[in-house]
Amino acid sequence: MVYVLDQASKAWALAALTNAPPQDLLGAFLRLYLVRNPGAAFSVGTGSTWLLTILAVVVLVVLIRASRRLGSMAWAWAFGLILGGALGNLTDRLIRDPGFGRGHVVDFIDYNGWFVGNVADIAIVGAALLIGLLALRGIGLDGRRDGAGGSGEADGSGEADGIPEPRGTERDG
């Protein structure tokens, strides 16, 4: 869903904002302004587009491999947000000008002149916040809470994320 929203919003931005002046939504605090970004966040690494493309592919592969260990709905949401966002920006790098692997990411949401982003960036930041919260709460990829009741289970009740254990089975711990 993140990927579809990201690509649809970028198509809209290219059609509606190309050669247009900034469009205020909340004054200068939040406005629409089209930018083609060859770098990463805050336009860092503008001369390293290929490296950013390769890094995005590595992140996607690592996340897909790690997703096999998911046992938590919250971690699944975080992975989905990151995957959708990373794939959205990677698509730009692969298909947009100036060419394959060097394409510029379409950014159009201007936050008070501090930076300009897109829907993929919002998803990635949301995922980072969710991952931070899960880490603070000690919830692992499998849904178990670190050190809870000494059993390694979410709440010591034999359940992780509210999913009861089948009778006659034990978790690895």
Out of 6, 92, 110, 121, pick the active-site residue: 121
The answer to whether residue 121 is catalytic is yes
The answer to whether residue 92 is catalytic is no
Cis, bond preceding 22 (omega within 30 deg of 0): no
Identify the CA nearest to 72 among candidates 147, 166, 163: 163
Q: What is the DSSP string of 7-46?
A: HHHHHHHHHHHTT---EESBTBSEEEEEEEESSSGGGTTT
Out of 107, 146, 155, 172, pick the active-site residue: 107
CA-based radius of gyration for the chain: 20
Residue 34's SS3 state is strand
Residue 149 half-sphere exposure, CB side, CA atoms within 13 Å? 13
Where in the sequence numbering do the catalytic residues fall? 107, 121
